[in-house]
Structure 1
């Protein structure tokens, strides 16, 4: 999909798309048309009434500039949000593809011009992400995506806004594409190769630590979880150094369990196929790093991805084992299906020690308890720093990737104390499962500002419980990519 800008709403196009507010009698930004077309538009406006997401197509007879006009309902003006524009733009793009068009045009309404950069970002993101479909393993591929022209008044900022939005959307799509890969096609080594290719193309430093070195350097969590599989674990590091040399980096850490059987504490068979999505945190980091490097953001960012396959093999770690983590603490294993916190603890401690970062943000499909608490449309955030939480929350409102803060007091830290080791890898029964998992992560770092995003409920679409959005087709959602890119750009 190619996206360009044009300042004329009278350009030749197969489909000219205009937005309509609820209870409105006009199409925002539409140029004057002949009386016959005007009559058709007026009748359509009465029928659709600008209801959110409702689309109407009007054919234009004769040799006109536009072959068809599409009216897209935005709902009530006071209810319009960034996600409204993203949602409706996605429906427009999908309709253009269904019509097998080569291209279409969207008019940016004059009422949006005061914040045209933001509106254009949402239009681009909504349209581009809505045209993504995972068809890698299908004989019959999805029809080619049509190109899109954005019609907006002249502004030097518009072209830049389009470029940024395209890169952000591409990062999210890249994350989805990898996260959707089946476990036989995506092992820890595969993820490492993706990281190497991105880094080589965008001139980032990439380091991959493999099994022998992981064990030698004391990555006890990653080593323990990964040793039950023939696909050896990896610790992947990517460095985007485009800020001042003395600037402390932002470290992003993503859990990447390429498949999670639960290990010896075997999961139930039902829906176990979805455990290919247990790598979504790591895929999120890959997508962010790809966009950060392509946008050449003038900051320092480090991506760290601990990647394993959790299998119940002959050498698998067991309930009752005591392992030593990278930070020197010992952990009692009570459940091998609580593996994500073990590999993340190693990566968090390593990131803090190696890079002395300004802040650490981690992403993980960590706990089913998060779904019980918040459902499938909101992620949990747990943090040791109010300012960091506030900044991420502000960005979440821009990107409509919703998060909700959960507390982390000393009482929760006490719940992971072990009788035979420093800590244990699950809390007390089922109580506060998301928070006790975060407590385990907090114990891995010292005093660096840190935020943990539990994306277990939002990383992929999970049936009717997931809100239907055209830019999140079935499968991985890429949650967190746009959110953190917004946060990083605001730095």
Structure 2
């Protein structure tokens, strides 16, 4: 889909320029319980009061997310005009805007319009600017048009005829809107990559497939990719990571992808993504019901790779490194057993009480490896615990950090993008649950505060830098009829990096 921006001066001639614009579909926002204004008023005048009569009859009510498509109205230049409800103006918010944008995207897609002029960014969103509204609109449209069909035996027809969208903005906002549209496309591309990787079956998206994806990104965007195989991983003494890989015939891969957009001496931001391409639970095997969804246990890796794609496409003036420990977690004759003790790259020993708590076992060695880059900050991303789903559901990502400043940055990025997170504690008192009689620590701390003790485990490997952990178990994937990867938290991570660049 092609996105572009065009300036329309809404202060002149009662929006005459937009009212006379020729397009397959003009998208117009209207508020609830408000007199017709701006473009809607101009269209009403041209149509000799048609819209006013529809308002009076209750056909055009402006309720949030409502849509009304009118076709071939006499006096209008457009083949279609879509009116989208923005809700009450005194309650209008970024969340309202996103809901209206999604509703508009669905309605335009359901039509046979091949192009559209999208005026929603002209609605004044509290505490947000036009550039934000343009980026949010791009993401709504990209999300609505995403389909995963790679594994179908026959090509499916496109779900929409829409090929071109023009965002109508005020002349003073045109430059920023153009940048925002490009950024929205880059984030959308990163989310699409993350979704594709998460949706691919485990027999296709193996650790080697993730490594090949990193190599392709490196070639396309001139990044640097270092892929370490089993022998190199063993030479680094990553005994914790290798303990998870032991039961699988698929060789583990340790992926390092570098984007060097900032000065050579600038300390990098390191993103670490959990890459368990299929999680059977190992010897502590999971129940069969729903196990097919365990292909999504690499969505941390997928989101990190998607973020790297977005960052590279945007050309941020920042140094960013992605680290992905990739493996399967399978039962087998060589698999790690409950009660085994393994030695991490840091030298700390771990008693494996449950082989289904494997994510932390691969992440801890990746977090130790990250020390060599002397990072400005490290953020790890993982579908780590079912306990996080119990705590926060599928709305907020769980955020853990000992750094208030870093946590605040990530929370703010989530609020900006609508890809929200909620901070949970990483307190010393919870470390008691990880005590082991036979090793430096156990890999689980029991059922109470399961997501917190998992974060506490990881914190033991992050003493040398600022660190945050994002538990995306509840936000990276949808079950049921809408089963599939969401692409989160690519928007949050990308906005965090955009904000870092602006510091």
TM-score (norm 1): 0.94
Distance in 2 between residues matched to 1:449 and 1:249, nearest whole Å:
12
Q: CA deviation at 1:17?
A: 0.7
For these two proteins, the number of residue pairs brought into alignment is: 481
- Work out the CA distance in 2 between the residues paired with 1:28 and 1:245: 50
Aligned partners of 2:38 and 2:332: how far apart in 1?
62
Provide the C-alpha distance between the structure 1 equivalents of 2:90 and 2:284, rounded to a whole number of angstroms: 51
Match of 2:272 in 1: 253
Contact 2:29–2:123, Cα closer than 8 Å, also in 1 = no
State the 1:89 CA deviation. 1.7
Residue 477 (structure 1) aligned with residue 477 (structure 2): no
1:463 Cα deviation after fit: 4.2
Equivalent of 1:118 in 132, 138, 148: 132
Contact 1:416 1:424 in 2 (8 A): yes
CA distance in 2, matches of 1:379, 1:276: 19
2:365 is paired with a residue of what secondary structure? Answer: helix
Distance 1:293 1:307, change over 3 A: same
| In 2, Cα distance between equivalents of 1:338 and 1:268 | 15
Distance 1:231 1:172 in 2: 26
Q: Is the 8 A contact 1:327 1:444 kept in 2?
A: yes
Is residue 2:155 matched to residue 1:137?
no
CA contact (8 A) 1:171 1:290 kept: yes
Number of the residue aligned with 2:14: none
Q: Structure 1 residues 33, 368: closer, same or farther in 2, change over 3 A?
A: closer
Deviations 1:400-439 (A, max 9, x none): 1221111111111221121111111000x21110011111
CA contact (8 A) 2:30 2:40 kept: no
The residue number in structure 1 matching 2:116 is 104
C-alpha distance in 1 between matches for 2:75 and 2:63? 30
SS at match of 1:142: coil
Contact 1:19 1:27 in 2 (8 A): no
How far apart are the structure 2 equivalents of 1:210 and 1:109?
48
1:331-384 per-position Cα deviation (integer Å, ceiling 9, x unaligned): 1110000000000001011012x2010111011000001111111111111111
- 2:417 aligns with 399
1:158–1:193 Cα change, 3 Å: same
Tell me how far apart the structure 2 counterparts of residues 41 and 315 of structure 1 sit (CA, whole Å): 72
Rounded Cα–Cα distance in structure 1 between residues aligned with 2:498 and 2:101: 23
| Pairwise CA distance, 1:85 | 2.0
| 2-structure distance, mates of 1:47, 1:474 | 34
- Report if the CA contact (8 A) 2:248-2:330 is conserved: yes
Given that 2:406 and 2:466 are in contact with CA atoms closer than 8 Å, whether structure 1 keeps it comes out as: yes
Contact kept, 8 Å, 2:43 with 2:76, in 1: the verdict is no
- What is the CA distance between 1:136 and its match in structure 2? 1.9
2:22 matched to which residue of 1?
A: 12
Partner of 1:431: 448
Q: Aligned partners of 1:115 and 1:424: how far apart in 2?
A: 48
- Given candidates 38, 50, 67, the residue that maps to 2:79 is 67
RMSD between aligned residues: 1.8
Provide structure 2 residue ranges, at least 5 long, that are not aligned to the other structure.
9-17
Q: Judge which range, 227-236 or 29-38, deviates more.
A: 29-38
Q: Which moved more, 1:367-376 or 1:85-94?
A: 85-94
Tell me if the contact between 2:121 and 2:134 (Cα under 8 Å) persists in the aligned partners.
no
2:299 paired with 1:280: yes
- Matched position secondary structure for 2:43: coil
- State the Cα distance separating 1:93 from its structure 2 match: 2.0
Retained in 2: the 8 A contact 1:250–1:301? yes
- 2:434 paired with 1:416: yes
Q: Offset of 1:107 from its aligned partner?
A: 1.0
What secondary structure is seen at the aligned counterpart in 2 of 1:125? helix
Question: Do the aligned residues in 1 keep the contact of 2:46 with 2:76 (CA within 8 Å)?
Answer: no
Tell me, what secondary structure is at the counterpart of 1:283? helix
**Structure 1 residues 27 and 178, CA, compared in 2 at 3 Å: closer, same or farther?**
farther
Pairing partner for 2:167 from 130, 150, 169: 150
The corresponding residue for 1:244 is: 263
What are structure 1's unaligned runs of at least 5 residues?
465-472
